[in-house]
Structure 1
Amino acid sequence: KGQWSYKLKFKPKDKSGNTFYGDFWVSMESHALLLVNMRMNPEANVNLVNRIIIYQEYDHYQEKYWIPVKQKTIIDFAMTKKDKGLGIIGRKTVSYKNFNIDNTETKETFSEKDPEDVRYEELAKADTFWSENRHEKLSKNEQGVYGMVDSIQNIPLFKTIAEIVTIVVNGYKDIGPIKIGPYSKLFTFNDVEGIRLSLGIGTSNKLSKKFQIYGYAGYGFKDKRWKYGGNMQYVFNRYRRSAIGASYFNDATFENRNSEERKTQSLFAGWLRRAIPQKMMYVQEGKVWFQHTWKKGFSNRLAVMHRRLNPVGHDKTRFGGLNLKFLQDNPETGMVDTITQIRSTEMVLKTRFAYKERKISGPFKDFSLGSKYPIVSLDYTLGVKGILQSQFDFHKVRLGIKHWFFTSPVGWIEYEIEVGKIFSAGPLPYLLLEVHPGNEAYFYNKTSLNSMNSFEFVSDFFVHARIEHHWDGFILNRIKFIRNHLKWRLVTAARGSWGILSNKHKNANILNHYDRRIKRSKDRKAPFTEGPFYGGFDKGPFTEVSIGIENIFQFIRVDALWRINYIDNRDAQRFSVRVTLNFSF
């Protein structure tokens, strides 16, 4: 380029690290980067990828700006590291020319337009446009890709594979304008419903990418009850997400949270559980909501709902069930009423801020790819008494922060912190307080404390914290057999939860505590009729630690967990093993 430059070569210090090797050119005069050409380390522990090639070229425009003029990326995807395996090569080429910098008219145009308002489907161009305007003509091989793609899409084997992948990822089968699913809920089992069969039908994206309607029905052969529900939504703007919707369901669930709060029970909550009381409840919830994104990463969601909670007690389950009784003063009779069912009308305002978040905007849902900055959420819930026979007034505030970052060369770390408070003039049932999320299934759950039992702890002021260190191949790659064949990765984690339970709530829910002096019999034949709660945290924060192996057959993760304290609580496990499906590149 007519200037003296340095050419520097680089290679991995650790041959098994997730790094690159290659070279780059640097200007002797300005020390600016002129060109870089690098490839992924062939020994890197990366799933489904055989090769990554990156080429970038820069130019000194008007002797003032260093700007990119060409970028190329090639990724060779394959199920295995064997070159002869079936795979796909993805190639991306970006080039720039005819730069127009410091142009007043251009600045004024862009100041009046928000890039987030661009509808990308309107930018689609015909093949003739690209043939006339490409900076570089396609090679013969590249031209052949178009015909090859059309041919592959008509091959029966490819259609079958694509259909299976779609069902596994989405859980639904598209049949023209409708979809059927999710298949994961066609057949389930739990202690309350026994065997349950369900079927859901809704509109697919082929019918409309603006509105969606979905409904389902299921039947439990043990409780002999129908469960059903449905939802609908209309999307005003897909990219700057703006939508309105409504939903209703009458179903059996494992948790007390409303549908606007994050779910803490996994898909397999009813399967392969420990032989302890399954705490379930029948829930009816009707809701309308509106969501709007103000700027990229900054959004609000408003929901108004009414729900009824009916815990399923010992008379319908093995080992005890969810026996809940709330003591409430009755000013008319001067007596104390015992309430076993709860009605609550709630308004929820959610605020989410994710600076420079990357996401994929689907027709009806956004899929976050994360951000290099912390993602902050603030939720406010107002409980209103007297509307649709709602029984309680309360305020609930929840603040959450989650983040992940690289710690090269030792993998990456993700953490999450959540703090909240519930305010009320009088006592509230435990089901309207913060029931700390436990996990009684043998499947690992990222959003729960896996060694804590469900409905074991409750608070009106609460703090949750979680940190996981994914070591990638930094440690296990030292073992040659693992590095060359198994590709296992180490993961370590610690979780904690703590809270304060006010006496006014504790006294009104005293019948929901089990008697700590009575130990559950080993044969567990005689069900307990008392409640499941231990109560508040009188011995400090609940903590657990774990060490695990992920990337087993690329999709399986196994964790060994240790419960650090509250070991003497009923049904507590000091040590346990959890399994989950987990994939990452």
Structure 2
Amino acid sequence: MSRNIFKLFFLTSITILCSQLLFAQKTIVSGSVIDAKTKEPMPFVNVIFKNTKSGTTTDIDGNYRIETYYASDSLTVSFIGYNSQTKKVRQDQSQVVNFEMSIGGGVELGEVVVTYTGNPAHKILDRVIDNKAINNREKYDAYEYEVYNKVEFDLNNISDEFKDRRVFNSLQFIFDYIDSTSSDKEYLPMFMTESLSDYYYRRDPKAEREVIKGTKVSGVSNESISQFLGDMYQNVNVYENHIGVFGKSFVSPIADFGKRFYKYYLIDSMVVDGNFCYQIEFVPKQAQEPVFSGTMWINDTTYAIKRIEAGINEQANINFINGFTVEQRYKKVDGEFWMLSKDNLVVDFTITKNSMGLYGRKTTTYKDFVMNKPRPDATFEGVEKVVVQKGANEKDEEFWDKNRHDSLSENEKNIYLMVDSVKNVPAFRTFIDVVQLVFTGYKEVGLFEIGPYFNAYSFNKVEGHRFRVGGRTSNNFSTQVMFDGYLAYGLKDERFKYGGGVLYFLSKEPRHSVSFNYSLDVEQLGLSQNAFSEDNILSSVLRRNPNDKLTGVEEFKLGTERFWFNGFSNTLSITNRTMKPLGSIRYNKSLDDGSLSSVSSIRTTEVGLKTRFAYQEAFVAGEFDRISLGTEYPILELNMGFGLKDVFGGDYNYTKVALSVSDNIKLGTFGRTEVKAQAGKYFGTLPFTLLEIHNGNETYFFDNAAFNLMNFFEFISDEYASLMMTHHFEGFFLNKIPLMRKLKWREVVTGRAVVGSLQDKNKAVLELPNNMYELTGPYAEAAVGIENIFKIIRVDALWRLTYLDHPDIAKFGIRATFEIQF
């Protein structure tokens, strides 16, 4: 609890400090300048904020007024023959400051020699940093604009050998669209999207809303993609100290601490779009650091960024990115507001250098700015910050010809025609089917999808060799309802297992579904949701202990899920389960005479309610599945279950509650920390099968949601709290070792612990199986590892820190897993 209080205090303090910077207002200073001796007004006196170019002169009556966002904390007056005078001012406030100037003594002018020591670019950079809060658009009371987004993906580095492959005989027409005019690589445009939206911002109370007015996607029509292509999920803000690039934190060239990472050179000064600017080049001090290289043009009066061009260094520790460039242009709106007017982003994706890859191009333009005219509250009503207007993806060519900020090139016009043609070519369909099979595990056959293939064969000590066949209906069958089912058979127990279900959408705006599922199968209790399923072939092959702690389960489940808005959902369910012991597990009850009575099965009827909240979580959704793009805020989950005795044969009354908080904390160049804290409690008198069997792992795969050196069925609790932390250093140390730098390996450390208790009344319901224990103290384990080996492999060395006297445990272990990350 004390840590939470400290974190809350820390975050509150930072918020207060940041708010003072981000929401800077105009500084308004007025007053008069008079002669100290005669008390007469002094006209044409220079009045300027110290160390800035914001100033004015007094009028004929000696009065002045300055109104600016670019104030320093001191105001200086000067006039020939008089001593200069400086007074303090209060920034972001209106005030009156008067001066009385006295005549200076006689001065004999001699030879003047002006010298400068130091880097002149640093002096300008300091001014940029001082004025960052002022030039950040979030300081304005309100603004709005129209956004046009254009995103394109192109195949690049296309060789003649590739084009001549037999599989492309029916696709030769697409190579007519190859372009080599604007890049050092030939590229073939393959996919393009456009979106047009209105964006609204209000500072107090803070609110923002984006209304997508039109979307056009070649080959895909999907509302969630339309949301993702809007302005709010595509911003690169150079004024932040760290810029997110594919989940990595890169240091901004105008970061407060930029001099630690960059060398700066003043190259030139020039007029850009009518604004006099300094041209400064920035290059990394160490090429392997998460930094950019490029050039920026800085306005000489406001020290705002007028234009910036930046790219990722080739040696940066980031996967599958052969090149990344961003160009941003800013303009002054209404004479004083600096706003982003154009944003170009180009990414060169490639698996290996010199192989065929993809260009990703994003061009965003902004126009029709309206400044400091707050919209009424009705504009911001509702919880969704991004709203797609009805019919946004049905706009005709007349709409786009009229509303595009830039006209399409000839190649861009042909992309839509080409993609529609390619979709009908059998070779292309085959390619798509293979990709879908690899990533989803299903093969589409007309109205059905067969799979998943990785569950087709497995083995364990109870079933022996197990074979399974299954499938589900495809989108060709329906986009409103999906049926699925499977049939499995074990050669050793000679029993069929089977299951099936149906999912039906009541609505998709918002998403609201109902489902029913039935299964009669074998389960591994205490298996984390992140682990391979029990009938996965890898789970069978890579086990470190015999798989004989299984449970036979017959389950009926009826549920409904409602997404109230992106990131907030409820799931309500009623589940009836019958569990029977298999393998080495037994259900034995102690009798008064000391003997044991065997219990053949346990049956429960449970009403469950799950609430999940992830503020500002972004999604990309298909017709039935949703993929989270994450959130910058903690994710909260509350799970509650209520057991109903004598309802559909239920044996127990009980209540269980579990609360979890997870977060991905970005620490800039120091990496990122994944944290998950969980606590739960069971109310009632229950057998061990219905209590918290802590998630273990008996395979050689690293399970990110389990205790990897804990056996299945080793620990049980009816009240518990756990903490799992993993810090990814992202190569912070290894990047500094010359021999390791080219490997781009990354360091990772993990620590996990759980505490809990078990009441005597629950111990007495059923006898605990052999080698199952209650937690009399914390269970803990730690690991150090290397990730990004060959870009996809992570290997951890793990140490078990407590309960080292338990039988058949691993005190130390090496675990590996596959991870695909940038």
- Cα pair distance change 1:116/1:230, threshold 3 Å: farther
1:534 is matched with 772
Distance 1:229 1:122 in 2: 40
Aligned residue number for residue 177 of structure 1: 447
Q: After superposing the two structures, state which structure 1 stretch, 466-475 or 26-35, moved more.
A: 26-35
Indicate whether 1:495 and 2:752 are aligned.
Answer: yes
Q: Name structure 2 gaps, 5 residues minimum.
A: 1-272
Q: Does the C-alpha gap of structure 1 residues 287 and 551 become closer, same or farther in structure 2, counting only changes over 3 Å?
A: same
SS of the residue corresponding to residue 389 of structure 1 reads coil
Q: 1:439 aligns with which of 686, 697, 704?
A: 697
Q: Which amino acid aligns with 1:74?
A: V
Write out per-residue CA displacement over residues 112-156 of structure 1, whole angstroms, 9 at most, x where no aligned residue.
896656367743434554344322223344445445545665676
Contact 2:526–2:695 (CA<8 Å) still a contact in 1?
no
Q: In structure 2, what is the equivalent of residue 517 of structure 1?
A: none
Counterpart for residue 217 of structure 1:
487
Over 3 Å counting, the alpha-carbon distance change for 1:196 and 1:412 in structure 2 is: same
2:433 match: secondary structure: helix
Residue 244 of structure 1 is matched in structure 2 by 514
> Is residue 2:350 matched to residue 1:78?
yes
Q: Which amino acid aligns with 1:17?
A: E
CA distance in 1, matches of 2:580, 2:660: 29
**TM-score of the aligned structures, taking structure 2 as reference length:** 0.62
Partner of 1:271: 541
Q: Residue 172 of structure 1 aligns to which amino acid in structure 2? A: Y
Preserved contact between residue 196 and residue 221 of structure 1 (Cα < 8 Å): yes
Answer yes or no: is 1:429 the counterpart of 2:700.
no
Q: Secondary structure at the match of 1:162?
A: helix
Distance in 2 between residues matched to 1:150 and 1:74, nearest whole Å: 25
**Alignment map for 1:91-490 (pairs within 5 Å):** 91-100=361-370, 108=378, 111=381, 118=388, 122-127=392-397, 129-143=399-413, 145-146=415-416, 149=419, 159-238=429-508, 240-255=510-525, 262=529, 266=533, 267=536, 268-276=538-546, 278-313=548-583, 321-327=584-590, 338-424=598-684, 427-484=685-742, 486-490=743-747
**Structure 1 partner of 2:308:** 36
Deviation at 1:219, TM superposition (A): 0.8
Q: 769, 787, 806: which one pairs with 1:569?
A: 806
Deviation at 1:88, TM superposition (A): 1.0
CA pair 559-43 structure 1, distance change in 2 beyond 3 A:
same
Is 1:505–2:739 an aligned residue pair?
Answer: no
Secondary structure, counterpart of 1:97 in structure 2: strand
1:157, distance to aligned residue in structure 2 (A): 5.9
On the 8 A contact 1:289/1:303 being kept in 2, the answer is yes
Per-residue displacement from partner, 1:531-570 (whole Å, max 9, x unpaired)? Answer: 23431112x2111111222222222222211111111101
User: Is 2:817 aligned against 1:580?
Assistant: yes
Distance in 2, matches of 1:28 and 1:59, equals: 14
Q: Which amino acid aligns with 1:557?
A: R
Q: Indicate conservation of the 8 Å contact 1:119/1:239, yes or no.
A: no
Distance 1:412 1:105, change over 3 A: closer
Give the distance between the partners of 1:233 and 1:65, measured in 2 at CA: 51
Counterpart contact for 1:283–1:307, Cα < 8 Å: yes
Counterpart residue identity of residue 755, structure 2: W
Deviation at 1:464, TM superposition (A): 1.6
The CA distance in 1 between the partners of 2:318 and 2:372, in whole Å, is: 42
Q: What is the rounded CA distance, in whole Å, between the counterparts of 1:399 and 1:389 in structure 2?
A: 29
- 2:613 aligns to what SS in structure 1? strand
How many residue pairs get matched?
546
Seen in structure 2, the aligned counterparts of structure 1 residues 263 and 386 have a Cα distance that, compared at 3 Å, is farther
SS at match of 1:169: helix
Alpha-carbon distance between aligned partners in 2 of 1:545 and 1:404, rounded to the nearest angstrom: 19
2:526–2:713 CA contact under 8 A, matched in 1 = no
Alignment RMSD, CA only?
2.7
Equivalent residues of 1:238, 1:364 under 8 A apart: no
SS of residue in 1 equivalent to 2:432: helix
Report SS of the residue matched to 1:123. Answer: helix
Q: For residue 138 of structure 1, what is the amino acid of its counterpart?
A: L
Tell me the alpha carbon deviations over residues 218-260 of structure 1, each in whole angstroms, 9 at most, x when there is no partner: 1111111111111211123436322111111111111268xxx
The 2-side partners of 1:208 and 1:127 are apart by: 29
SS in 1 for 2:648: helix
Tell me, yes or no, if the aligned pair for 1:470 and 1:491 is still in contact at 8 Å: yes
Distance verdict in 2 for CA 1:495–1:164, change over 3 Å: same
Q: 2:321 aligns with which of 34, 49, 55?
A: 49
Any idea what SS the aligned residue of 1:388 has?
A: coil
TM-score (normalised: structure 1): 0.86
Task: Give the match's secondary structure for 1:89.
Answer: strand
Q: Which residue of 1 aligns with 2:158?
A: none
Match of 1:522 in 2: none
1:31 & 1:328 partners in 2: Cα distance? 84
| 1:53-64 alignment, distance < 5 Å | 53-63=325-335
SS in structure 2 opposite 1:99? strand
Q: Is the 8 A contact 2:730 2:747 kept in 1?
A: yes
Q: Deviations over 1:38-86 (max 9, x none)?
A: 1112111222211111122233322454433211111111111x2x311
1:352-409 CA-partner distances (Å, limit 9, x unpaired): 1111112212221221121111111111111111111110111111010111122221
